[in-house]
Amino acid sequence: MAKGDRRSSRWKYISAISRLGEAKGIVHTKDLADELQVKPASVTQMVKRLAGEGLLEYHPYQGVRLSELGVEEAGRIRERRLVLTQFFRLIGLSEDQSISQAREMGSRLSRESFSRLKTLVERARRETGIDDEDCVVLRLGTDDGGIAKAMET
């Protein structure tokens, strides 16, 4: 598996655990396998790897939850996806297209590229007067989906 693919897979797991954990606290590996549509053995393997990196607390036969480090990583993932979604909305893509592209590219940008893109988005929003609602950021907590889809895998 290529480095970018591993990172993307890692982000999918962290995002799914974050999302499922908000509703349930501890996340059972079966629920995670169902959410990601992968085999339970694949989940166990990745969960052990992420726990080894200090991103998860893993308790066999009980489930997983994000560690403090994992919560921080989930926040970085969320920020990247939100900024990328805003960028794609600013250049005229539909909400669904923007979310899809943000999911695809989030793990592939270097820190420097992301930082520059974030600065560009912030500047464009200031100069054009586009607010958060126009970039769908305010819809994060609503039931109609919106930007919350950006956290889905």
**pLDDT tens digits along 48-82:** 999 999 999 999 999 999 999 999 999 999 999 99
List the one residue out of 36, 120, 114, 51 whose CA is nearest residue 79.
114
Cβ–Cβ < 8 Å for 33, 42:
yes
One-character DSSP codes across 61-122: TTEEEE-HHHHHHHHHHHHHHHHHHHHHHHTT--HHHHHHHHHHHTTTS-HHHHHHHHHHHH
pTM: 0.75
pLDDT band at 47 (very low <50, low <70, confident <90, very high): very high
Domains of the chain: 3-66 (1.10.10.10), 76-151 (no CATH)
